Structure formats: structure tokens, C-alpha cells
Structure 1
Amino acid sequence: MSETEEAMEAVRRYVDAFNRADASAMTDECADPMQILDGMAPHVWQGESATEQWWRDVQAESAHLGVGNYRILLDEPRHADVHGESAYLVYPASMSFDKDGTRHTQAGSVFTVALRRVAGRWRLAAWSWAKGH
């Protein structure tokens, strides 16, 4: 498997964990420190517990808005840059979720991920989600 494919596999594991609502498995794919930039307030999460803090806020926002059952679907990366121990991947993405008994899809999103190789394994060091339509 190439370095790029290995980095992409780490992102797939993270997204698969998100789709299972498994915050612990998401955290296992992250470097320390981790940084998250998302459209939901407070918008930035940092540090070793960034993923858990972000997930807690996702759950609170979901309860407030009456949404759930999130699922992310990634297309092939439009940009993949791997140099040594660092990688940068940019994915076209969509997110679906349930609201009031109806399935909704947010298409045209962009998931940007920076990774570091830590102890021989690719780990997410930062990600951002740009909401689509």
C-alpha cells in the first residue's frame, strides 16, 4: 500500500467510526494534539481530548435541533499530498442525517484533513468541515 493509500485509510477509519457514532474509535485515529475546525459553535476544539469534546458538542447540538443518525460519505480526494511524516487530503463529501423522521442530505461539503505519522501509523492531526448545500 502506498503512503497516500495508508493516509487515506486512516481517514476512512475515522469516518467509519463517526458513522458508527463511536467517539472512542475516532479518538484512536487521532494524533495528540488534535485540532478540529467545524461550523458548529464553538467552532474550534484542540488538544488531546479535542475529538471527545467535539463529539459531546455534536450530541448536544443534535439534541437541540432534533437531528441524528449522521452518515458521512467521502468521494475520492481532489487533493492528496504526502511528504515524509505529513499528509494533507481534501475530500468532496456529503452528510446525511435524520430530522423529524425525514432523511436529509447535505451535498457539496469539503472535508480537509492533515495527518502525521506517529509511531509508524498515520493519525489525523487536524480536520475541517466546510458545509455544502
Structure 2
Amino acid sequence: MSNDPMAAVVQYVDAFNRGDAKAMGAACADSMQILDGMAPHVWQGPTASDDWWRDVLTEGEHVGASAYRISLDEPRHVDVSGDHAYVVVPATMTFDLQDKQVTQTGSVFTVALRKVDREWRLTAWAWAKGA
């Protein structure tokens, strides 16, 4: 993996876009936290990414949403302090909602990372939904 924490963020988002929960989890540290607009809003612990993804799929089935995809813009911040990093990235999410494509622009993906065995791993992320 790259020495750039942004590479780990891209790896996580690429796994999300493929619907690959195992790869998303592999990009995370054991101590993971997720803050999202979907209830229950907070997931934490070693299975946070898997638990969140399960809830995404459950919610999607309930409301008729699928085909989620995130595209990242240029990061606003990639701040590294030793083995810790803070990344803020504008993002756009698209998904199908009852057979219509929805595009949410103006979202912000904020990620905290730390080095684990010399590789960047996500330790927390928050999604701020745009328009």
C-alpha cells in the first residue's frame, strides 16, 4: 500500500463501489467507527464496516435503493501526523431509487486513519450528505 493515506481511502471507496464488504473491512483497523445519516447512525468495533454494509443493504431493500456508487473529488485535507492521518474529501454519490437514478452532490467524506504494520488503515469515517 502507498505511504499516502488517500490511497487507503480510495481503496475503501473502490471496494464500496464493487459491493465488496470483505475488501472494505480489510481497509479498516480493528478499532473502527462509522458515523452515517442512516439509522442507527453509529457503528463501532472490529465488525463496524461489515455491520454498516449489512444495514446499507437492508435499508436499500426496504426503500428500493441499489447500485450505490461514490466518486471522490480532490481532497480538501490530507493531514499526516506521524502514524495518524485526517482526510476530508468532497464526494458525489449515485444510486438507483425505485428504478430512477439519484445523484447526491456536495457530500463530504471525512476519514481518520492510522498506520497498522506500516500500512494506512481507516479508523473512523463520517459521511455528510449533500444535496
TM-score with structure 1 length normalisation?
0.96
Gapped regions of structure 2 (runs ≥ 5)? none
Number of residue pairs matched by the alignment: 131
1:64 aligns with 2:62: yes
Corresponding residue of 1:127: 125
How far did 1:2 drift? Answer: 7.6
Gapped regions of structure 1 (runs ≥ 5)? none
Corresponding residue of 2:10: 12
C-alpha contact 2:5 2:78 (8 A) present in aligned 1: no
Query: CA–CA distance in 1 between the matches of 2:35 and 2:125?
Result: 6
How far did 1:90 drift? Answer: 0.3
Q: CA RMSD in A?
A: 1.2
Query: CA–CA distance in 1 between the matches of 2:73 and 2:125?
Result: 16
> Post-superposition, which runs of at least 4 consecutive aligned residues in structure 1 deviate over 6 A?
none
Query: CA–CA distance in 1 between the matches of 2:67 and 2:16?
Result: 10
TM-score with structure 2 length normalisation?
0.97
SS in 1 for 2:5: helix
Query: CA–CA distance in 2 between the matches of 1:43 and 1:101?
Result: 26
* Mapping of residues 16-55 of structure 1, within 5 Å: 16-55=14-53
What percent of counterpart residues are identical?
A: 63
Per-residue CA deviations over 1:17-66 (Å, capped at 9, x if unaligned) read 00000000000000011000000000000000000100110011000110
